[in-house]
Amino acid sequence: MIFRELNQSSCKTYLVACESTRSAALIDPIKEEVGRYAAVLAYHGLKLQYSIDTHTHADHRSGVHDLKELLGGHVVMHERAPSPRVDLHVHDGDRLLLGELELKILYTPGHTPDSISVFLGDRVLTGDTLLIGGTGRTDFAGGDPGAQYDSITEKLFSLPDDTVVYPAHDYRGRTSTTIGTEKRTNPRIAGKSREQYIELMNNLGLPLPDKIQAVLQPNQCGLDANVIPFPSLEQLNQVREISPIELARRLNEPHPPVVLDVREEHEVYHGELGRIPGCHHIPLKELPTRRQELEQFKDKVIVTVCRAGVRSAIAAALLKSYGFEAYNLSGGMVDWKAAGFPAIS
């Protein structure tokens, strides 16, 4: 196995490759470094098979889509990743073959709803779930300290103690740790109950990343800020949510809400999740220029829908700014289908 960390900085990108077949994967690549990654692959005669994001990043633009355009291969993220530009959605326990190597996916939510770790037998790439002497923050939208505690204590800490841990970040120049070391000495979680951990994480009071507005929403939507006017975090926090159960109930009432699916066309009409019967479709990137098509619904409630409830939250915030009454379907089509409600293809 070829294994290298490529950035030599606090933000980590890992190269994993099979020596015999020269098949390679890049985990958590940064957009600004894509050219250098391509040069490293070419120098070593490696062919990119997978570009993997362990979660939707809030502190840097992802390079997975640029790598696909430049070098091919498959973009890989968890099923709950909001981006429309993912080729392979993975689940807990899935295994990706990389030549003679096997990458096992561990679903480790908490930092974000789509957080995964990648297990390679003697090492595990933990993204922002488990850090060296720390854990990833859980105060972003969708963060859940209880889920993160479970991910770490029940899943990561069940690995052998000598498993080497490679996180997606470290701010003190460290490169790795081990599962055993973190079990014993990590001040965030060692010896703490679930309730104590939740209390600790809910009161960290960390400042937001400097470029969160310029980074998070483009990563979530697969769009740049010049395509649509992204709403502010304050506007997003004011978006009202509706659960799949509540939406299903209201769709059977005499005056049902209007369902607006804002995914890309290929997701709505050809994707594995299908669409809600009777929904209207306007992709998020076209919403500002096509909003006049919704004027007929100005006196109705509009429920926006996407894959995982992130792009649709942006759509609901935009519709509210245009004067519509809009709700966001919590968990999107992932939760709608998981609840067993009808979807057509």
Residue 163 and residue 230 share a domain: no
Residue 61 and residue 120 share a domain: yes
Residue 230 and residue 172 share a domain: no
Q: Flag whether 344 is in a domain.
A: no
Residue 188 and residue 49 share a domain: yes
Q: Flag whether 207 is in a domain.
A: no
Residue ranges making up the domain that contains 14: 2-201
Residue 155 and residue 231 share a domain: no
Report the distance separating Cα 51 and Cα 68, nearest Å: 7
Instruction: Assess contact for 219 and 57: CB atoms under 8 A.
Output: yes
Q: Flag whether 170 is in a domain.
A: yes
Residue 109 and residue 42 share a domain: yes
Query: What pLDDT is attached to residue 82?
Result: 96
pLDDT tens string, the chain, 345 residues long: the values are 999 999 989 999 999 999 999 999 999 999 999 999 999 999 999 999 999 999 999 999 999 999 999 999 999 999 999 999 999 999 999 999 999 999 999 999 999 999 999 999 999 999 999 999 999 999 988 999 999 999 999 999 999 999 999 999 999 999 999 999 999 999 999 999 999 999 999 999 999 887 787 899 899 998 877 788 888 888 999 999 999 999 999 999 999 999 999 999 999 999 999 999 999 999 999 999 999 999 999 999 999 999 999 999 999 999 999 999 999 999 999 999 999 999 999
Residue 157 and residue 17 share a domain: yes
Residue 197 and residue 59 share a domain: yes
Quickly count helices (H) and strands (E) in the chain: 12, 19
Taking phi over 0 as left and psi of -120 to 50 as alpha, with beta for the rest, 142 belongs to left
Instruction: Assess contact for 173 and 164: CB atoms under 8 A.
Output: no
- Rounded to two decimals, what is the model's pTM? 0.94
233 alpha-carbon distance from chain centroid: 17
Question: Which segments of the chain are extended strands (E)?
Answer: 2-5, 14-17, 23-27, 47-52, 74-78, 88-90, 95-98, 101-107, 116-119, 123-127, 130-131, 134-135, 164-167, 177-178, 240-242, 258-261, 280-281, 301-305, 325-329
Q: Flag whether 24 is in a domain.
A: yes
Q: 94: which residues sit within 8 A by CB, 6+ positions away?
A: 104, 105
Q: Flag whether 345 is in a domain.
A: no
225 alpha-carbon distance from chain centroid: 19
Q: Flag whether 39 is in a domain.
A: yes
Tokens found for residue 324: 């519509």
Residue 98 and residue 13 share a domain: yes
Residue 302 and residue 194 share a domain: no
Q: Flag whether 206 is in a domain.
A: no
Residue 164 and residue 82 share a domain: yes
Taking phi over 0 as left and psi of -120 to 50 as alpha, with beta for the rest, 246 belongs to alpha
CA distances (Å), 298 to each of 42, 90, 170, 285, in order? Answer: 55, 39, 49, 21
Domain of residue 176, CATH code: 3.60.15.10
Instruction: Assess contact for 308 and 78: CB atoms under 8 A.
Output: no
Q: Flag whether 215 is in a domain.
A: no
Residue type, position 52, single letter: I
Domain count, the chain: 2
Domain of residue 284, CATH code: 3.40.250.10
